Structure 1
Amino acid sequence: MKKEINLDVETIDRIVEMAWEDRTPFDAIEIQFGLLEKDVIALMRREMKPSSFRMWRKRVSGRSTKHRQKRDFEKGRFKSSNQKT
């Protein structure tokens, strides 16, 4: 991550959880924590084992649900009670 953001362990865990969720867009992470997609990727790279990071990147690369502009739905989407947006 280019900008150094001090995050506590609980916040990092929540960001990782949201990043793994298929239907949570990167926009929601940005709104809630101020991290751009590239910052989330850097955080995931830093916090995960290399094999887990590669698996995550492969998983989210093809997911239209992780990018709000590519989504074909808005209403009826799952929203975690921990998610602000």
Structure 2
Amino acid sequence: MKLPNFDQQTIDRIIEMAWEDRTPFDVIETQFGLKEKQVIVLMRQQMKESSFYMWRKRVTKRKTKHLNKREFIAGRFKSQNQKS
């Protein structure tokens, strides 16, 4: 899968957002243009194998990582660095 060329600072921010429980993949897509599958590929490339599997186990079926599965919308924290 072809990924856009990001600088290391942007890659680090994407990884940070992917690890955060309350940051959905939709926000990563809005801000960086990466769909969930692309984030998974990026994480696999950038992380040690054991860390990647730990992350996948953590986010799989996690409601907070998918806006359409969330039970809440209002009251969500939004960083000033985040687009729309």
Q: Which runs of 5+ in 1 are unaligned?
A: none
Identity %: 69
Give the match for residue 60 of structure 1. Answer: 59
Q: d(CA) in 1 for partners of 2:76 and 2:3?
A: 32
1:51 has 2:78 as partner: no
1:19 has 2:18 as partner: yes
CA RMSD of aligned residues (A): 1.0
Q: Which runs of 5+ in 2 are unaligned?
A: none
Q: TM-score, normalising length from structure 1?
A: 0.92
In the TM superposition, residue 21 of structure 1 has moved relative to its aligned partner by 0.5
Higher relative contact order (CA 8 A, sep 6+): 1
